[in-house]
Structure 1
């Protein structure tokens, strides 16, 4: 007996040594193929790029994998326990592999013939996920074991657990529990219920088959298994188990938590990151891009642009259904079939698809995509606008009943206004809107078109369109630098200019001429022929030189007199930047849209360094010559801090002046006149500026702006400033051959409707006004100091000369100190008393004679 025991012991030792030898042999066999496990501390998880507004609203997310990296402190202990219970109950006891688990799995396999019991530890899964493939081969399994043991030697258990929870694939392109909580429940992990935690913990085994969205029954069964394991491991009580087990499956798909719609801005940010860091890094290293966009301005720009496009489209008529699903006498589709068809049509802008299922006398019933089968009504107020579209300049007869507009079986577009549905359509016309801060060039909102999904072309930055009368303030600015004043008279009369046998006859719009007219009034009323006469007098060289100062490229400026009427092609952003120079006192700012970029750990790796407008600082630097550091007394520093956004400042942070403070001030006055007009309404001499609608709507005097309409009404513009915001609105067709047309009166609508031709004030300005109305509370009134070199004197409204009168025929006007008029309106014989005798007295004819 002892001899058999001795043999058994020797056999066991021999077998053990053989096993150890085999393990050593296998290790050296695969050693050359094993990765350097220490590199796991350097491996970066694939985290998508996220783009935010300056105030932290998510604009977009780019990257194949959705992942939200979390730390141990971010994760509820119960959630960690759920994964341990179902995946590796002895995680905190084993050394990377679990011999007990292996024996248990082997026993189950030997007794059942089926490998239903897994033996991989969480550490082994980390080894596989980071270093190996998922191929089910013996060699891969051996490598996994060796790597797992090494991982346990260089990492703590908590570090391994964090790698696992942040790396694991959980379906729906969600990697890691942070992303999974968002994708399935729209929550942070800290907000998950026990039932939801258990469901997520059950996903790693088979993310596709156990997906709660695609297979809710399978997901529920797996969740209950997880809950049972948690009960068995004493992580939860019996009551918790029963309550969670009875919970329904509530998971639904949640896209990225986009909290602010600014797709065109996000695309600019994406392209900038790829330019800086390349595609691979940009999409996978978890960069967070913070743009200069803010929520208030962007939401206002979105709303104003969409409303303006719909208003244009409605007054030009209804173009009909987007699709016909069935026609009478065919049987109506089932609700299920309708919902299925609608779900295949994506929303666009603020529109959602709907199908007409019932047409009454002056109302229809529809099933919308969002209603998922429920009937909704559109009453007559939401239908009556829809007279037929014929051309951009012709509309059909107003409808009298709903059947004049739609029919059962048609798929249409609808939009919600004040909680009521309205028939709508995808606008045929395009638009762009951009706003910025004139003090540093930060872009605060940008809309590049009706729908980014339909067209990625960003009309705010990429469209080069003729600007029409939006060019005039810059031409007038050139005149002010060439001896003209706001009171200079220019002849507002028809022009006939011959070039060989060809005549050029620029006209006012409307064709009304005033004869000699002051420069201020000419800009306010947008007199075309005055602008032409200025260009003729100044010469193209002087005009284009001035336009270049405002940032307009010479190659986009026509070298002929049509430049006076806005034949130059400029993008909305470029144009807004030019107006910003007028608004900020003459300083050249560079528009920018990325404020900073942070890496996945919150470290700033890129910071914008914009030029800042600070006239006080600029004067100090000018006095200090070539000094590049701020050398000033504490008093000066304190004063600078109150004036400038940053303090102390350096020379390279100060925006340079490209036009004089006097020129900027006077040009700004011209733009204010375009809003407020002039004259005396009480004495029948009052007149409106072309932008008068803004004055009536906003009632603030720190604003100015200019309308713009191109020849043939192909482009409509409004650009201007209010407070510390500059904005440009543009409307036009992407097809250069199409004009904006005109509309006739619609008898179904109220009397305040817009009719006639489309032009800047009617077509583009409404978006600008609505935007400014929405942002007024965050855009305080701004007081502009009058430059010390500007004087104010009373002049005659008609002649622009000095006057002694003080009635409605006069006004106070601004002049450069060296260009104050010296002549009076006329010499009037008056009398002055000397002693007891009246003697004739001739009024002085110049300022010099007064002193």
Structure 2
């Protein structure tokens, strides 16, 4: 067997050994688009020009017996073997510097017995052909240090803007610690982690006699940021997408060294035209007028049928600009989702569990939950409304009632099937009152299932990876039946009305069937005097071909940086521009009704099914085939729940029932007084442990191209996102009651801060 492994070993060439092999990225059409790093920076340096201090920093860190072994280190192999027996093969490596040169030149990074045998064989061959200094020179010029820097000389200039001979022990130690995980130890992005890693290297250097105790102590007192260069690096082409590719490769066990130095051919799902247009929409004002340069946006564009990622817009900065390494707003934000969560936590689970019709009646009335008075964006109650009306107009109280009827456990289970990572939920979650919400990528992934007959695919950028030795690993996102096809179609049908006549009309695309949902969040505490302002604005929508989710807002919402009513339209404009462009010259089918769904016509005046399809005040609704029509109009009653999810009857209603013998005029006066009191009531005080949680978001108003639309509650990166603002007549936001020790992923029945109501 060993002979067979050795016999299949690839050959090493001088070119393989000298130059680092940057991994290449290919698009959905197998066309080369870019290297994993931006324009590569390489400066080759001879071993005689590399100071002994720098050499010893790497030898102490990577291979302390480098000058003694013959290419493999038996002591390290024994130590690794023990770890592998205890924790499984591949748990700990024993690669020497020589083996790393071999592995990064021609072999894959797979931790298989065959690869380790070939690696050891080639390492011994390499030691027989080259001197130790030559091998160390290859290694120090080949390894990747992050920020596009290959080789130690380039890294010295990248991080410190100085030649190798001027490096201090602290600086040499920092460089020696980077190759293991260049992005994780990046001193620009993670100075504390980088400093810990540097200090570990300094300890090893002292232990192996490379520096004195005094040098070690002085170096450890030096802040890692003290001597860093301020030079900015140029953004990588398709930066947001490539960031996600690298992230996924790491999650699948591919080492950073293999990614940056292994000469991989990475075949992705990228649609270059879609990516280029997405970046153009975000970085120019050709399609959207942005308020200022601080305004942020994140976009994820997926294939509805397969869930693969076609484009990511991670920032509003042009790829031609030199910038500090940026935050990926398409994948990294965890802001409140506002009303975009309602199909996922409320109405989707209700159809799935109870087979509700789209005409299911839900009473929109006063609702108090453990001291938190829930409200709608228009500060009004609408009586019995259908599930369709409640979703189209984004009323909060029907959504909360629906969530409570379903139950937290089943709602969370439904969301998890769609890739939304929450562990528990309270009534405030029903309207987007999360402490930590989904990213645009996660939200888009969830919405693909509604447009794909209930089948969910985890979003991915990867198709396959080929290694220099010919080894190939293929990747695919397996389909998951997240819900019945009737649930997906009925949600889709209602979301089509959101775009046709509800809160999302500005996202409508002529000639395409589009389903979607808006979401906004309120201003944070202390800024609620800005009545029509909002922290974040979302739009998530889909056709049968594409699904996109867009977030817009600021890093931190302040009195100077917040979303005005006009700004709140931008998420819809971005969605419309991108989806309409990628849909050009491509046939887009309409949403097909499955056999499990039947259409019925309802006379809204009587509430009964009618055969008169064209009658006045007749609406077409959907039911699950085989369900009873008797339950179609039965209203959802306020359901009592344990602890935090109790629904309390309004005290004023009780008093009104007791006083039913009073004259009608007295009743009217009492009701008037009650409304006034509610407006003046202060929200309940939150518990100290819940102070960091944001309030639930608010509802959206229907879009009117000629008038200012209602703001929605969006989440922000640094701060917990406030909720969506109310419409034209903005009611004072109410604060939810404190949560009962639930997960920190969101607010409880009111585990948020004050001033939140959810918006569509």
TM-score, length basis structure 2: 0.50
**Secondary structure of the residue that 1:768 maps to in structure 2?**
helix
> Deviations for 1:369-389, whole angstroms, at most 9, x for unmatched residues?
xxxxxxxxxxxxxxxxxxxxx
| Closer/same/farther in 2, CA of residues 45 and 562 from structure 1, 3 Å limit | same
Q: Following superposition of structure 1 onto structure 2, how do residues 175-214 of structure 1 map, counting pairs within 5 Å?
A: none
Indicate whether 1:735 and 2:710 are aligned: no
**Secondary structure of the residue that 2:463 maps to in structure 1?**
strand
Partners of 1:719 and 1:814 lie apart in 2 by: 23
- Give the corresponding residue for 1:554: 422
Q: Following superposition of structure 1 onto structure 2, how do residues 158-557 of structure 1 map, counting pairs within 5 Å?
A: 261-273=237-249, 276-307=253-284, 313-314=290-291, 427-451=293-317, 453-474=323-344, 475-480=346-351, 481-493=353-365, 495-497=366-368, 499=370, 502=371, 504-555=372-423, 557=424
CA contact (8 A) 2:414 2:482 kept: no
Q: Cα RMSD over matched residues?
A: 3.7
Partners of 2:399 and 2:632 lie apart in 1 by: 27
Indicate whether 1:49 and 2:23 are aligned: yes
CA contact (8 A) 1:261 1:299 kept: no
> Deviations for 1:248-306, whole angstroms, at most 9, x for unmatched residues?
xxxxxxxx999x94102222334555674434443334222222111121122212233
**Secondary structure of the residue that 1:554 maps to in structure 2?**
coil
- What are structure 2's unaligned runs of at least 5 residues? 1-10, 43-104, 106-128, 130-141, 143-147, 151-232, 524-533, 634-760
| Closer/same/farther in 2, CA of residues 308 and 488 from structure 1, 3 Å limit | farther
CA contact (8 A) 1:487 1:800 kept: no
Indicate whether 1:673 and 2:480 are aligned: no
Task: Decide which of 495, 502, 514 is 1:689's aligned counterpart.
Answer: 502
**Secondary structure of the residue that 2:243 maps to in structure 1?**
helix
CA contact (8 A) 2:356 2:624 kept: no
CA contact (8 A) 2:602 2:621 kept: yes
Task: Decide which of 699, 719, 726 is 2:547's aligned counterpart.
Answer: 726
| Closer/same/farther in 2, CA of residues 604 and 795 from structure 1, 3 Å limit | farther
| Closer/same/farther in 2, CA of residues 710 and 597 from structure 1, 3 Å limit | same
Partners of 2:149 and 2:625 lie apart in 1 by: 69
Task: Decide which of 812, 815, 818 is 2:623's aligned counterpart.
Answer: 815
- TM-aligned CA deviation for residue 804 of structure 1: 4.3
Indicate whether 1:563 and 2:429 are aligned: yes
**Secondary structure of the residue that 2:538 maps to in structure 1?**
strand
> Deviations for 1:345-384, whole angstroms, at most 9, x for unmatched residues?
xxxxxxxxxxxxxxxxxxxxxxxxxxxxxxxxxxxxxxxx
- TM-aligned CA deviation for residue 719 of structure 1: 0.3
| Closer/same/farther in 2, CA of residues 547 and 280 from structure 1, 3 Å limit | closer
Partners of 2:577 and 2:281 lie apart in 1 by: 6
Instruction: Name the stretch that deviates more: 591-600 or 580-589.
Output: 591-600
Higher relative contact order (CA 8 A, sep 6+): 2
Instruction: Name the stretch that deviates more: 785-794 or 712-721.
Output: 785-794
Partners of 2:342 and 2:237 lie apart in 1 by: 34
| Closer/same/farther in 2, CA of residues 309 and 554 from structure 1, 3 Å limit | farther
- TM-aligned CA deviation for residue 672 of structure 1: 0.9
- Give the corresponding residue for 1:62: 37
- What are structure 1's unaligned runs of at least 5 residues? 1-36, 68-129, 131-153, 155-166, 168-172, 176-255, 315-424, 612-654, 677-687, 744-755, 826-851
Partners of 2:274 and 2:453 lie apart in 1 by: 23
| Closer/same/farther in 2, CA of residues 799 and 604 from structure 1, 3 Å limit | farther
Q: Following superposition of structure 1 onto structure 2, how do residues 637-786 of structure 1 map, counting pairs within 5 Å?
A: 655-676=479-500, 688-695=501-508, 698-712=509-523, 713-735=534-556, 741=562, 743=564, 756=565, 758-759=567-568, 762-786=569-593
| Closer/same/farther in 2, CA of residues 765 and 48 from structure 1, 3 Å limit | same
Partners of 2:632 and 2:416 lie apart in 1 by: 37
**Secondary structure of the residue that 2:456 maps to in structure 1?**
coil
**Secondary structure of the residue that 1:464 maps to in structure 2?**
coil
- Give the corresponding residue for 2:112: none
| Closer/same/farther in 2, CA of residues 739 and 174 from structure 1, 3 Å limit | closer
Partners of 2:314 and 2:289 lie apart in 1 by: 17
CA contact (8 A) 2:356 2:632 kept: no
Partners of 1:824 and 1:718 lie apart in 2 by: 30
**Secondary structure of the residue that 1:818 maps to in structure 2?**
coil
- Give the corresponding residue for 2:727: none
> Deviations for 1:773-818, whole angstroms, at most 9, x for unmatched residues?
2112254212333222222222123554212443231133221122
Larger radius of gyration: 1
| Closer/same/farther in 2, CA of residues 811 and 820 from structure 1, 3 Å limit | farther
| Closer/same/farther in 2, CA of residues 738 and 561 from structure 1, 3 Å limit | farther
Instruction: Name the stretch that deviates more: 698-707 or 276-285.
Output: 276-285
- TM-aligned CA deviation for residue 563 of structure 1: 0.9
> Deviations for 1:651-701, whole angstroms, at most 9, x for unmatched residues?
xxxx2312111111111111111112xxxxxxxxxxx21111222xx1235
Partners of 2:342 and 2:545 lie apart in 1 by: 22
CA contact (8 A) 1:796 1:802 kept: yes
- TM-aligned CA deviation for residue 54 of structure 1: 2.1
- Give the corresponding residue for 1:377: none
- TM-aligned CA deviation for residue 41 of structure 1: 8.9
- TM-aligned CA deviation for residue 566 of structure 1: 0.5
Partners of 2:275 and 2:12 lie apart in 1 by: 47
- TM-aligned CA deviation for residue 312 of structure 1: 6.0
**Secondary structure of the residue that 1:465 maps to in structure 2?**
coil
Partners of 2:477 and 2:363 lie apart in 1 by: 43
Partners of 1:262 and 1:562 lie apart in 2 by: 37
CA contact (8 A) 2:485 2:596 kept: no
| Closer/same/farther in 2, CA of residues 544 and 605 from structure 1, 3 Å limit | same
CA contact (8 A) 2:309 2:461 kept: yes
- Give the corresponding residue for 1:574: 442
CA contact (8 A) 2:514 2:543 kept: yes
Indicate whether 1:584 and 2:452 are aligned: yes
**Secondary structure of the residue that 1:815 maps to in structure 2?**
strand
**Secondary structure of the residue that 1:457 maps to in structure 2?**
coil
Partners of 2:606 and 2:286 lie apart in 1 by: 43
TM-score, length basis structure 1: 0.45
| Closer/same/farther in 2, CA of residues 703 and 662 from structure 1, 3 Å limit | same
- TM-aligned CA deviation for residue 61 of structure 1: 4.2
CA contact (8 A) 1:53 1:291 kept: yes
Partners of 1:757 and 1:763 lie apart in 2 by: 7
Partners of 1:824 and 1:280 lie apart in 2 by: 60
| Closer/same/farther in 2, CA of residues 288 and 42 from structure 1, 3 Å limit | closer
